[in-house]
Amino acid sequence: MKQPLDNPNIKETMPRTILVVEDDDLNFNYIDIVMELEGLTVLWAKNGVEAIALFDQHPEISIILMDIRMPAMDGYEATRQIRTRNSTIPIIAITAFAQLSDKEKSLDAGCNDYLSKPVRKDDLLKAIYKHLPKQ
């Protein structure tokens, strides 16, 4: 079985629009470059409040990359509120918190997966591919 990154059709099966919720410009720029190299559209929210607004305005969003520690509303609360609107959208927590309890807290809030920063490109793409609906 091929690994997702070895799949020549990965761009065809990946989502077209990704919501990146990240308050740090450098972290966002890194993720944005990785996503754009894959031919994906990126929407950017700098906090949980913006994330919910963008999610409500853009039904084409296929997956959410959610930072946890942010101003205005953290990623845990944003995830919980998004889950009241949509129980199936994949949400991947991306956080500098690296404790096992932080991973559990992210999953308990409704995230489907958890990546710790700094995130490697391969790990990010594998997590995204893992949570996409099979086509």
Task: Lay out the sheet containing 41-45: strands in order across.
Answer: 41-45, 17-21, 63-67, 91-95, 113-116
Q: Is 52 helix (H, G, I), strand (E, B) or coil?
A: helix
As a CATH number, domain 17-120 is 3.40.50.2300
Q: For the chain, give every domain's residue range.
A: 17-120
4 pLDDT band, cuts 50/70/90, is very low
Query: Which two structure tokens, joined as six digits, stand for 13?
Result: 């099966």
Instruction: Give per-residue pLDDT as tens, 60-74.
Output: 999 999 999 888 899
- pLDDT tens-digit readout, 52-110: 999 999 999 999 999 998 888 999 999 999 999 999 999 999 988 666 677 888 988 99
Distance CA 9, CA 120 (A): 21
Predicted structure pTM score: 0.86
Q: How confident is the model at residue 9 (pLDDT cuts 50, 70, 90)?
A: very low
In angstroms, the CA 97 to CA 68 distance is: 8
CA distance linking residue 121 with residue 135, whole number of Å: 23
